[in-house]
Amino acid sequence: MTYLTLHQTVENLPPADGISTSACLDVGVLDQFGPTCGFYSLYLVLDYWHRMGKAARPLPPRFRHSIHRVRDPDKPNSLRAVGKKIRVTTQGTVLSTDNLGKVAREAGNFDYRNVDTAGMDDFFKKCMAEIQAGFPIIIGIDVGIDPENGGMPAVRASPATAQDPNKGGHWAVLCGFRTYPDSAPRFIASHWGEYWIWEGTALYQSNHGLNFYPQEHFVKKKVLAQNQSGADVTLGGKTYRPGSLYFFNDFALVDGLVDIEDIGQRRTVPLSPIDGMRGKLLVVYPRQADAPAASSSSSAAPRRGRIDIGYDSN
């Protein structure tokens, strides 16, 4: 199950019998377009600090969200453009916590730290400590893409290899948890425009099982209209505007887009090692706020539903 509000998500966490600890940070949710999960995750964290009053309004994750419709090579209008400027990506895919942290440093008054995790207990302890201290976590997982586990941490029976790579290296934001006396904690994550509840053992195994990002092919298509009405097209929880261009990957569900035009642009993400994501937590924070108290989150406005980011990015 997935949810649009943090309140709804917390209400659906399994109840705990006995002593339990929980914490949550309302980072919001935002639909992702294209192979840019790292920039969307980073945006959610930067916007969280902005709403806390500790940072300026961040750049949007992609140019499509900016009101500045003229690209300026000397002044990037999105986090993705910053990533291209500092050469940590060519099309939007970022495969290490260090490179994503460098984008945060370049994009504003932010810094970052990598938190290395060892065994499962260490992983749980460090994830929960960061969230309790008021820090959202950007984490890499091997994301499920099949109908039965789509969007959930994928767990492999054997280690991924170059011949049998992970299903897909993916970034998400951990923003909450609840502990249980006799089982692993549950974590709350934000990605793909919704909140998710993830079982802790599967999350640990998915993160620590990252070895190889699979080769993926993306094709750019123009969405024309749905049923000749000219209205926005909604598919899989995402809204596609007629006349706009979108990249779709091999497994995208595009049958619901009644009228689309292949404009011939194709990009390939090559098979790549992703040890820069494995066993690591990325914590991004404002430089002037080295250790904000978790209780300060109460001063932020509550988040309800998806974030609207169609604003001036200055």
Q: What is the pLDDT of residues 20-37, one digit of tens each?
A: 999 999 999 998 877 899
**Where do the structural domains in the chain lie, given as residue ranges?**
2-214+273-290, 216-269
- The region of weakest confidence among 127-141, 147-161, 232-246 is 232-246
Q: Are 104 and 110 in contact (CB under 8 A)?
A: yes
Tokens at 166, concatenated: 């992970």
Percentage with pLDDT > 90 across the chain: 51
* pLDDT, mean over the chain: 80
Q: Are 2 and 151 in contact (CB under 8 A)?
A: yes
Percentage with pLDDT > 70 across the chain: 70
* pLDDT value for 239: 64
d(CA 88, CA 71): 19
| End-to-end Cα, the chain, rounded Å | 37
* pLDDT confidence tier of residue 219, bands split at 50, 70 and 90: low
Angle at 44 between CA 20 and CA 38, to 5 degrees: 105
Q: Are 95 and 213 in contact (CB under 8 A)?
A: yes
For the residues 38-63, what does the mean pLDDT come to? Answer: 94
Ranges 217-221, 222-226, 246-250, most confident: 217-221
DSSP state letters, 268-308? EE--EE-TTTTTEEEEEEETT-SS--GGGGGGSPPP-SBPP
Instruction: For residue 116, give the 3-state DSSP assignment.
Output: strand
* pLDDT value for 271: 72
Higher per-residue confidence, 49 vs 314: 49
Asked if the model's pLDDT at residue 17 lies above 80, the reply is yes
Asked if the model's pLDDT at residue 225 lies above 80, the reply is no
Q: pTM score, two decimals?
A: 0.81
* pLDDT value for 300: 38
Other beta carbons within 10 angstroms of residue 157's beta carbon come to: 4
246: burial class by Cβ within 10 Å (0-12, 13-18, 19+)?
buried
Strand partners, 256: none
Q: How many residues does the chain have?
A: 314
Give the closest residue to 91 by CA, choosing from 37, 42, 35.
35
2-214+273-290: which CATH topology? Cathepsin B; Chain A (3.90.70)
Other beta carbons within 10 angstroms of residue 17's beta carbon come to: 9
Q: What is the pLDDT of residues 257-302, one digit of tens each?
A: 444 555 555 566 667 888 899 999 999 999 975 444 333 333 333 3
d(CA 123, CA 200): 9
Tokens at 123, concatenated: 């992983």
Q: What is the pLDDT of residues 86-136, one digit of tens each?
A: 999 877 889 999 999 999 999 999 999 999 999 999 999 999 999 999 999
Give the closest residue to 8 by CA, choosing from 297, 304, 236, 298.
304
